[in-house]
Structure 1
């Protein structure tokens, strides 16, 4: 029987996540193409046009999660590849709010299918280091955003080429991950390995701790992705090139996730989440009162805060609630992206109004403020739970 090539599968997974991440960075740059200075859409219009990237992701995660066990990871990856390809082609031909909406929907579904398939695959391949390896896998979300942001800046701002050239660059990692996965033996999910029934899996997602984590995922994802997705508009009056700030933030995030193993060992997932919420809150407030070079200082604080949010939320569920299986990870990811689809139009409305970007950032800072309280409670609960088990 053909052996599972973990290193090749992990590399292919990283390439697939790079495609997902590059779409986020490129979408930020497309605000100037389709926005008030481009074809004339308002920032609120753009918020609605871009929401399918997030609710499409949510739909794919919620549908794809249970199907991962039923159909297998390989078939879900096939759907991801096809919808990614269609979404990129439609983006290249978009010329209105409606066509941009449809293109973004396909891209969002592709992104969601990538996460629906690969989060449980990595958890099943690295059962003894789930949080560490999920953080290492998710290095390539900020890493891919850095790549996309720098390429967007280079292609459009430095070389003066068209936005279609920038979007076409997505085909490179797309084809690469398709080739890397082709013909490989893919492992079954951990839930299948453990023999946990579908009935128990569906029942486990009603666990109070899991529901609490879903609520927190709404806030962590919105704090991170809601802010970074609209950074072009949020910082356009504060710094010359917001896209470079985006690259800077995600560069810090990538470096942080590479060192996640040591931090997880010292703080535990619940401790990482608490410190993340504190730094995110401070970073968002600093972004409202700084400009010029100091923006990068504020961005660094914000980046330290959001670095571990997404992968540690997933790692917590995979580690402490394994019976939720691929469904649990999909619900978490879907909840996170759905929350972003809700905040993007709200942020656009605030920025279109007289209050401007500062009010939008102050409003977003409410989310990590709530998370500080929530994760403080989670730390207390987990310590009591650990002490009870040890006793």
Structure 2
């Protein structure tokens, strides 16, 4: 790695992840406006949102299989092109299908970024993987934090959602330029001479399969809640997006302080604590009102803070022979689970709303009701009541994770004890 500039590669990777997270933050803030402008049902909004999560696993899994062959640089050039095309198409969207296609392209770009950057960070910082993956992934909540602030600021200035989306073009052009100029190493698996057959064997081990399944739950807890927070909690504040701003702000600080936390509690210990705090945070978000909702957001932010990077770090450190494929299968599992869950919950949310409308009501008529009318007011009341119920239904996910990660802590402790005894 004599000609490899680790710092420049790391910061260019962070900028690419910033674009990924800006797309989440800005989309979360404009979701309601998209529904109004294009007269979309909640189920249609759920499908559009889920499309980003479909594109991500598609790209990250395919990337996991080919990154060792074509190299990380080519993948990141592809990510740049998909990001640019997806952003431009979103700006000029005309309805459901153009939003669907543009969001899919951005999702593919986001997955391609992770397919290349996760193994890149694990390769250039092979002696400190979990900490550096946390530092890298702080740019995900960091970008969502910035994205929500952009939405709040631009809304106050009366600027359109198209201008808010256009902001992402600037960092996209910068990271595309940087990666085109930098030299890349080969992946850690290739450099260490681990065979492809050994890599495939590693991703079928019981420990990897367990972490793969747990990734479903950690991703749903973090990303579904964050992406839908503005829609689900309009009953507690006129600017529910501020809840996401606070949550992601906590995550940025937490991931920045990952080193002492991970060293003190171990990756599996951090995951257990995260699951407990996430369950508590979701419960509080679904029950508290008024200013106390921001305390709930703080607890939830602490809970989901370390989930994604520590899941990847655990696999990189404890199943290293799984290589880039292992990291990318984990990311793909998380995003795929969120896409399925989002579609399911979008439909469930619509059913809850319909149940809370007057008997025999047609939701489409209510969606097209004149603002301020009796029908529009009834629809808002129904949405306000249904939102917390979605969060309460999601609460089961971190509760199951708590049980699973408690088992992981016990397993890893016994494994360490057996290793000491054998020595």
In the other structure, the counterpart of 1:57 is: 56
**Aligned residue number for residue 406 of structure 2:** 376
Aligned to 1:341: 339
Q: How does 1:181-200 map to 2 (within 5 A)?
A: 181-200=179-198
Q: What are the residue-to-residue correspondences of 1:14-53 with 2, within 5 Å?
A: 14-35=14-35, 37-53=36-52
Give TM-score scaled by structure 2 length: 0.90
**Matched residue, 2:68:** 69
Whole-angstrom distance in 1 between the partners of 2:69 and 2:420 = 37
* 8 Å Cα contact 1:221/1:340 also seen in 2: yes
For structure 1, the 5+ residue unaligned runs are none
Compute the displacement of 1:2 (Å).
6.5
**Distance in 1 of aligned mates of 2:418 and 2:192:** 25
Offset from partner CA, 1:110-143 (integer Å, 9 cap, x none): 0000000000000000011000000000010000
Please list, as runs of the form range in 1=range in 2, the aligned pairs for 1:197-216 lying within 5 A after superposition: 197-216=195-214
Describe how 1:187-336 pairs up with structure 2 within 5 A.
187-336=185-334
* 1:97 aligned partner: 96
Aligned length: 389
Check conservation: 1:273, 1:375, Cα contact below 8 A: yes
Equivalents in 2 of 1:167, 1:23: separation in Å? 8
Q: Is structure 2 residue 172 aligned with structure 1 residue 174?
A: yes
Distance in 2 between residues matched to 1:254 and 1:47, nearest whole Å: 27
User: Which residue pairs with 2:392 in the alignment?
Assistant: 362
SS in 1 for 2:211: helix
Runs (5+) with no aligned partner, structure 2: 357-384
TM-score (norm 1): 0.98
Rg larger in 1 or in 2? 2
Would the aligned equivalents of 2:16 and 2:172 in 1 still touch at CA under 8 Å?
yes
8 Å Cα contact 1:350-1:357 kept in structure 2 = no
The answer to whether the Cα contact below 8 Å between 2:145 and 2:245 also exists between their aligned partners in 1 is yes
User: Is residue 79–residue 113 contact of structure 2 (8 Å, CA) maintained in 1?
Assistant: yes
CA distance in 2, matches of 1:240, 1:80: 36
Shift of 1:27: 1.0
- Residue 236 of structure 1, CA deviation: 0.9
After the TM superposition, which parts of structure 1 deviate over 6 Å for at least 4 consecutive aligned residues? none
Contact 1:257–1:307 (Cα < 8 Å) also in 2: yes
Does the 8 Å contact 1:350/1:356 carry over to 2? no
Shift of residue 39, structure 1, vs aligned partner:
2.2
Distance in 2 between residues matched to 1:143 and 1:50, nearest whole Å: 20
Which deviates more, 24-33 or 266-275? 24-33
Matches within 5 A, 1:99-178: 99-155=98-154, 157-178=155-176
Distance in 1 between the 2:316 and 2:207 partners? 13
Q: CA deviation at 1:347?
A: 2.3
Q: Please tell me whether the aligned partners of residues 191 and 325 of structure 1 are also in contact (alpha carbons under 8 angstroms).
A: yes
Q: Which residue of 1 aligns with 2:420?
A: 390
CA deviations 1:138-192 (Å, max 9, x no partner) are 010000101111011111x211011111010001110111122222111111101
CA contact (8 A) 2:278 2:299 kept: yes
Is the CA contact 1:253–1:304 (under 8 Å) kept in the aligned structure 2?
yes
Between the aligned partners of 2:129 and 2:123, the Cα distance in structure 1 is 8
Q: Counterpart of 1:303 in 2: which secondary structure?
A: helix
Could you say which residue in structure 1 is the equivalent of 2:77? 78
CA contact under 8 A between 1:2 and 1:185: conserved in structure 2? Answer: no
Q: State whether residues 243 and 297 of structure 2, in contact with CA within 8 Å, keep that contact through their aligned partners in structure 1.
A: yes
What's 2:360 paired with? none
| In structure 1, distance between residues paired with 2:32 and 2:158 | 14
Distance 1:255 1:350 in 2: 34
Q: Does the 8 Å contact 1:91/1:104 carry over to 2?
A: yes
Distance in 1 of aligned mates of 2:189 and 2:65: 11
Q: Return the alpha-carbon distance in structure 1 between the equivalents of residues 296 and 37 of structure 2.
A: 29
1:332-382 C-alpha deviation (Å, 9 max, x unpaired): 000000011011122223332236012100111000000000000000000
- For residue 32 of structure 1, report the CA deviation from its aligned partner: 1.7
The two structures, once aligned, show a CA RMSD in angstroms of 1.1
Residue 331 of structure 1: how far off its partner (Å): 0.3
- SS of aligned partner of 1:88: helix
**Worse-matched range after superposition: 354-363 or 204-213:** 354-363
